[in-house]
């Protein structure tokens, strides 16, 4: 599980661990990852924390190798690591753009490829679940063009990889969250990102959510748990939108 220390990632880790999975929590914030692992172990769950920069091929190789070294196999990969600094395109530098693509899109490719190689060698299939966004289907606001490009890319990558890996019994799907209450969204609301009035953006966004509430991490975690379970045994190459109906507006 990448990006598993906080927010949506932590919610997913908690659900998978509750269902009996041994979970590796990979994050660039090792202290937060270890705190999450400690909390799970205190509940009797099986959890381990690791530092990993998903945009670094060596880190990803080590992450997968150490995961298999810890429990002997890899059955489920959840790609949740992602960043969404807000900046309008006309103020965006090439480095701003590259940083988002490196984490969100390159990171998904590196992790999925490394995991799939191991899953194929196990001859027992596996599940790869990529956390995209409703921005993979429709922009939610100004300032996220690099993020939207990355998430459109992850959705396209998900479909093609599903086609490639289906003969090996490896299912590849995506979950597309709408507005979810996380520390990252809270930072955006505080106006920490220059150039965009994020509080106004979020207020306008919620006005278009038919269910009239912001989601919580567990809303996404339940969708991921479904795709990771035998209930989704005939599902691959799909994107499950969890947005309170936002895309209907």
- What is the rounded (10 degree) CA torsion for 221, 246, 180, 241? 20
- Classify residue 128 by its DSSP letter: E
Write out the E strands in 68-201.
76-79, 126-131, 170-177
CA pair distance 47, 149, nearest whole angstrom:
33
Cα–Cα distances in Å, from 214 out to 62, 114, 141, 207, 240?
A: 36, 34, 16, 10, 17
Contact 128, 118 (CB under 8 A): no
To the query of whether residue 86 is one of the catalytic residues in this protein, the response is no
Contact 176, 134 (CB under 8 A): yes
Write out the E strands in 58-138.
76-79, 126-131
To the query of whether residue 133 is one of the catalytic residues in this protein, the response is yes
Q: Which of 86, 140, 147, 150 is catalytic?
A: 147
Q: Write the secondary structure of 1-43 as one string of H (helix), E (strand) and C (coil).
A: CECCCCHHHHHHHHHHHHCCCCEEEEECCHHHHHHHHHHHHHC
Contact 97, 77 (CB under 8 A): no
CA pair distance 56, 29, nearest whole angstrom:
15
- Classify residue 117 by its DSSP letter: H
Q: Which of 86, 133, 140, 150 is catalytic?
A: 133
- Classify residue 243 by its DSSP letter: S
To the query of whether residue 234 is one of the catalytic residues in this protein, the response is no
| Residues marked as catalytic | 133, 147, 151
């Amino acid at each position: 599980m990448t990006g598993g220390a906080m927010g949506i990632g932590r919610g997913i880790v908690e659900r998978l661990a509750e269902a009996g999975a041994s979970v590796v929590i990979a994050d660039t914030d090792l202290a937060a990852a270890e705190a999450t692992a400690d909390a799970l172990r205190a509940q009797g769950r099986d959890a381990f924390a690791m530092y990993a920069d998903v945009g670094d091929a060596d880190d990803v190789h080590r992450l997968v190798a150490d995961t298999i070294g810890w429990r002997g196999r890899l059955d489920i990969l959840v790609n949740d690591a992602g960043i969404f600094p807000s900046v309008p395109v006309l103020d965006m530098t090439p480095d701003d753009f590259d940083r988002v693509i490196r984490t969100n899109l390159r990171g998904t490719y590196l992790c999925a490829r490394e995991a799939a190689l191991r899953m194929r060698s196990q001859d027992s299939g596996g599940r790869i679940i990529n956390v995209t966004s409703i921005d993979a289907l429709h922009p939610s606001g100004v300032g996220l063009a690099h993020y939207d490009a990355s998430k459109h890319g992850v959705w396209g990558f998900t479909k093609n990889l599903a086609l490639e890996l289906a003969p090996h019994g490896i299912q590849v799907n995506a979950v597309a969250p709408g507005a979810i209450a996380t520390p990252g969204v809270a930072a955006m609301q505080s106006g920490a990102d220059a150039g965009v009035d994020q509080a106004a953006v979020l207020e306008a966004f919620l006005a278009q959510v038919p269910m009239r509430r912001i989601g919580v991490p567990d809303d996404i975690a339940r969708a991921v748990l479904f795709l990771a379970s035998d209930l989704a045994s005939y599902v691959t190459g799909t994107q499950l939108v969890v947005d309170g109906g936002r895309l209907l507006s």
